[in-house]
Amino acid sequence: MNDDVTTETLTSHLEELRTRVMNCAYIITLGSILGYTYSDKLFEALRVPIKPYLPDGGLVFTNPVDKFAAFLRISIFAGIVLTCPFWLYQLWRFIAPGLYAKEKKYSLVFIFSGSFLFCTGLSFAYFLVFPLAFKFLLNFGGTVDKPMITIDEYLSFITTTSVVFGAMFEMPLVLVLLGMMGIIEQKTLRESRRYAVVALSVVSAVVTPPDVLSMFLLLVPMMILYELSIVLVGFFAEQKQHASPK
């Protein structure tokens, strides 16, 4: 009997997850269609960080379809960014059943905070990390050699890295949610601080351009956000205790 209930519960969760993932796909697709109408302007904006370090400020393409593929990539990237509040809402709807009634009132806080953190991560990468990384990497070893970077390579790098930065900045939100669901505790996060430093260092080295400066530009805010997460997990744990029936 218990096995049947467990199987039914798991099936229900998987079906709910499928529904939310499909909703996110539909939402991002609509956002991508809207983003495609502005893809030329977005392309100009995305090339700004590298433009000063390229001959004549231009990227190159080696395939007739590269430019079209680039606009499609840009539109998908725009769709992810533009619809951020909507796919965060879908995430909230998926996890909300596991929360107390008083915790469910934080839906708007969750969506607003998640959108803010995601956009902050994107902005941090665009305005600080990319300019400094390109300045170091493309000027490394002198100016005799000239960079020849393709549109596909550049857009793949900058859009993927931007989304990764946005996702990394969601760490406080993820840890708070895990805390609210009873999966982690403030004490655990404190005791795991040294391991967090190692883990975040490895992740920062993997997702950033291959220079030490870029790694530290991500690692430092990540550690600040981790410390903030410890405080927030403790705060919401107290709220959960007050919400529990006596």
User: pLDDT band for position 207 (50/70/90)?
Assistant: confident
Give the chain's mean pLDDT: 87
In this prediction, residues 212-225 reach a mean pLDDT of 89
On the CB side of 222, how many CA atoms lie within 13 Å of its CA?
Answer: 25
**pLDDT above 70: residue 34:** yes
Q: What is the pLDDT of residues 51-83, one digit of tens each?
A: 888 877 688 888 888 889 999 999 999 999 999
Residue 34 CA from chain centroid, whole number = 21
Range list of H helices, the chain: 2-36, 39-46, 66-82, 84-95, 107-124, 130-139, 151-168, 171-180, 186-191, 193-207, 212-243
Q: What percent of the chain has pLDDT over 70?
A: 91
CA dist 97 → 7, 101, 107, 183 (Å): 18, 9, 12, 15
Long-range contacts of 217-221 (CB under 8 A, 24+ apart): 217/124, 217/128, 217/129, 217/132, 218/129, 218/165, 218/168, 221/124, 221/169
- Residue of higher predicted confidence among 204 and 13: 204
What pLDDT sits at residue 11? Answer: 81
What pLDDT sits at residue 76? Answer: 95
What pLDDT sits at residue 1? Answer: 47
Q: Please compute Rg for the chain using Cα positions.
A: 21
User: pLDDT band for position 6 (50/70/90)?
Assistant: low
Residue 213's contacts (CB-CB under 8 Å, 6 or more residues apart) are 132, 133, 136
